[in-house]
Homo-oligomer: A and B are copies of this chain.
């Protein structure tokens, strides 16, 4: 990450996204991504382990952010509210990335290998969040259920947000999905 490669990660990500969109994930090589970004293959592998990983560059940041938000939530807050508030707060993280997220999602949905990686990233995130809840004194099984419910809300809201024209906030859609979950479990 020397000075001679400003924003190499971002440039590689943009180049990969463009090429995957044009030709399909399967038909793009790392060499082509590096070339499009004006960088070398070696630089690519300094930043990303493989061709798939370049689409998941943000997941560590997202996870750290969410774990931090759970850890710092006010003590008296109910676990589910801690998780939903943390998820809502990622709205800002995605604010300027709607177009990027939409393109990325289309690429992932077209490829089983990428869907697989996406599922694993979500599972890793869920495990980390459950750990953060346990740190707050929540029991293991309650932490698990709370996080799984939160992830359900997040996934549905994220899908709505991606397919939306981009006018609505992700945070707003998360809140809305949570209210829906609340209503649908409220019983009859």
Contact = CB atoms under 8 A, between A and B. Distances in A.
A182 B181 contact: no
Given A149-B152, A156-B148, A185 B188 contact: no
Interface stretch (A36-44, A62-70, A74-82): A74-82
Nearest to A84: B185
Contacts of A80: 184-185
Nearest to A119: B119
A165 interface: no
Contacts of A141: 156, 160
A70 to B, nearest CB: 15
Copies in the complex: 2
A152 B145 contact: yes
Interface string A169-188: 00000000110111011111
Given A79-B184, A182-B187, A187-B182, A156 B152 contact: no
A152 B151 CA distance: 9
Interface in A145-166: 145-146, 148-149, 151-153, 155-156, 159-160
A80 B152 CA distance: 14
Given A78-B184, A115-B120, A145-B181, 7 more contacts: A81-B188, A142-B184, A144-B155, A145-B177, A148-B151, A149-B184, A185-B185
16 contacts: A79-B184, A116-B116, A116-B119, A119-B119, A142-B184, A144-B156, A144-B159, A145-B184, A146-B184, A148-B151, A148-B152, A148-B155, A149-B149, A149-B152, A178-B185, A181-B185
